[in-house]
Amino acid sequence: MKYYLKKILGFIFTILLVSIITFVVFQILPGDPAQIILGVDADPAQIENLRATMNLDKGYVERYLIWLTNALKGDLGVSYRYSRAVSELISESFFVTSSLAVYSIALTILIGLPLGIFIAKNSKKKITTGISMLSQLGISVPSFCMGIVLISIFSVNLGWFDSIGYIPASESLTGWFKTMFLPSLSIAFGSSAVLARYIRVSIANQQKQDYVRTAKSKGLSEKIIMNQHILRNSLIPVITILGMLVADILGGSIIIENVFSLPGIGKLISTSITTRDLPLIQGLTVYLAGIVVICNFGVDILYSIIDPRIKTKR
- Residue list 293-312, contact with other proteins (CB under 8 A): 293, 296, 306-309, 312
Which helix (H) or strand (E) segment is 254 a member of?
helix 231-259
Whether the CB-CB separation of 51 and 34 falls below 8 Å is answered with yes
Residue 314 to residue 312: CA distance in whole angstroms: 7
**H helix and E strand count, the chain:** 14, 0
Closest CA to 285 of 131, 77, 129: 77
Q: Which of 114, 142, 165, 168 binds other proteins (CB under 8 A)?
A: 142
Per residue in 10-32, is it b (16+ CB within 10 Å) or e — as a string?
Answer: ebeebbeebbeebbeebeeeeee
Per residue in 68-83, is it b (16+ CB within 10 Å) or e — as a string?
Answer: eeebeeeebbbbbebe
Residue 160 engages other proteins in binding (rule: CB under 8 A): no
Residue 149 engages other proteins in binding (rule: CB under 8 A): yes
Strands (E), the chain: none
Which residues are 85's β-sheet partners?
78
Closest CA to 190 of 253, 232, 259: 253
CB under 8 A: which stretch of 77-85, 168-176, 181-189, 229-237 binds other proteins?
229-237
Whether the CB-CB separation of 82 and 159 falls below 8 Å is answered with no
Q: Which of residues 230-259 bind other proteins (CB under 8 A)?
A: 232-233, 236, 243-244, 247-248, 250-252, 254-255, 258-259
Q: Which of 4, 214, 227, 305 binds other proteins (CB under 8 A)?
A: 214
Residue 18 engages other proteins in binding (rule: CB under 8 A): yes
Residue 158 engages other proteins in binding (rule: CB under 8 A): no
Site track for other proteins across 68-107, x = CB under 8 A: ----------------------------------------
Closer to other proteins by CB, 83 or 312: give it: 312
Q: How far is the CB of 170 from other proteins (least distance, A)?
A: 28
Helix, strand or coil for residue 186? helix
Closer to other proteins by CB, 169 or 247: give it: 247
Q: Which of 36, 47, 85, 141 binds other proteins (CB under 8 A)?
A: 141
Q: How far is the CB of 151 from other proteins (least distance, A)?
A: 7
Q: How far is the CB of 136 from other proteins (least distance, A)?
A: 7
Q: Say which residues have a Cβ less than 8 Å from residue 283's Cβ, sequence separation at least 6.
A: 71, 76, 77, 86, 87, 90
**DSSP character at residue 218:** T
Residue 216 engages other proteins in binding (rule: CB under 8 A): yes
Q: How far is the CB of 38 from other proteins (least distance, A)?
A: 20
Closer to other proteins by CB, 78 or 244: give it: 244
Q: How far is the CB of 308 from other proteins (least distance, A)?
A: 5
Closer to other proteins by CB, 169 or 298: give it: 298
Residue 28: C-alpha distances to residues 23, 81, 91 (Å): 9, 21, 28
CB under 8 A: which stretch of 34-42, 86-94, 106-114, 280-288 binds other proteins?
280-288
Q: Which of residues 174-213 bind other proteins (CB under 8 A)?
A: 209-211, 213
CB under 8 A: which stretch of 43-51, 53-61, 88-96, 292-300 binds other proteins?
292-300
Closest CA to 269 of 253, 256, 279, 280: 280
Q: Which of 55, 152, 205, 227 binds other proteins (CB under 8 A)?
A: 152
Q: How many chain residues are in contact with other proteins, going by CB under 8 A?
A: 74
